[in-house]
C-alpha cells in the first residue's frame, strides 16, 4: 500500500534511501522500514514526502491512482485535524466508541485525537478517509 508509492516516487526522483532519509531527518534504516512496509510512516513524515514529491496524500497512500499534484505545500494543522475528526463523527451521528470500532481503534484514541492530545496515526487516518470518503488533504487542514 503506502510503501509501493514511496519506492516508486523515490526511484522516479532518482534518489537513494539515504538521500530520502536525510530529507526527512531520519536514519536510512527507519526510512527503509517505512518503504518496505515493515513500519508505518508517521503522518507528519508522510506529509513531508507529499510536499516534496508534490502529490496528494491520497495518491501517496494508494487511495487514488490519480497522481494529482498539490497546488501548494500543505502543513498539517493539528487543531484542524482534531476538529475535522469530530465533525466527521458528528455528521455520521456516531459516538466516539462507535467511530473507534468502525476504524478499529478505541474510544480513548478517538477522544485523544478529537481533543488534540495526540495526532491521529497514519493507519487510522487512512481508515477514516476510506470509511467516510474524506480525502486526507481535507482531514489535515482547516476547511
Query: DSSP states of 74-97 as a string?
Result: ----HHHHHHHHHHHHHHTT--HH
Contact 135, 129 (CB under 8 A): yes
Same domain, 87 and 54: no
Q: Which residue in this structure is represented by grid cell 481533543?
A: 115
Contact 113, 84 (CB under 8 A): no
Whether 65 is in a domain gets the answer no
Pick from 60, 87, 109: which residue ends a domain? 60
Same domain, 50 and 102: no
Same domain, 46 and 97: no
Same domain, 28 and 55: yes
Same domain, 40 and 85: no
CATH of the domain at 109: 1.10.260.40
Q: Which residue in this structure is represented by grid cell 497512500?
A: 61
C-alpha–C-alpha distance, residues 11 and 16, integer Å: 8
Q: Which range of residues forms the domain containing residue 114?
A: 78-139
Whether 122 is in a domain gets the answer yes
pTM: 0.91
Contact 2, 33 (CB under 8 A): no
Same domain, 16 and 50: yes
The one-digit pLDDT tens for each residue of the chain (143 residues) are 677 899 999 999 999 999 999 999 999 999 999 999 999 999 999 999 999 999 999 999 999 988 888 878 999 999 999 999 999 999 999 999 999 999 999 999 999 999 999 999 999 999 999 999 999 999 999 87
Comparing CA positions, the residue from 83, 81, 108, 80 lying closest to residue 96 is 108
Q: Which residue in this structure is represented by grid cell 537513494?
A: 16
Cα-based angle 50, 54, 59 (whole degrees, multiple of 5): 60
Set of cell numbers at residue 71: 497546488
C-alpha–C-alpha distance, residues 46 and 57, integer Å: 8
Amino acid at each position: 500500500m503506502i510503501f509501493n508509492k514511496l519506492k516508486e516516487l523515490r526511484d522516479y526522483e532518482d534518489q537513494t534511501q539515504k538521500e530520502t532519509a536525510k530529507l526527512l531527518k531520519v536514519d536510512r534504516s527507519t526510512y527503509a522500514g517505512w518503504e518496505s512496509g515493515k513500519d508505518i510512516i508517521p503522518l507528519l513524515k508522510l506529509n513531508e514526502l507529499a510536499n516534496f514529491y508534490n502529490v496528494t496524500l491520497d495518491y501517496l497512500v494508494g487511495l487514488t491512482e490519480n497522481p494529482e499534484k498539490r497546488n501548494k505545500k500543505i502543513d498539517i494543522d493539528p487543531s484542524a485535524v482534531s476538529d475535522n475528526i469530530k465533525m466527521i463523527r458528528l455528521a455520521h451521528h456516531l459516538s466516539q466508541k462507535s467511530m473507534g470500532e468502525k476504524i478499529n481503534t478505541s474510544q480513548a484514541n478517538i477522544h485523544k485525537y478529537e481533543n488534540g492530545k495526540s495526532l491521529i496515526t497514519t493507519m487510522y487516518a487512512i481508515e477514516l478517509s476510506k470509511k467516510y470518503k474524506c480525502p486526507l488533504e481535507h482531514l489535515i487542514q482547516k476547511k
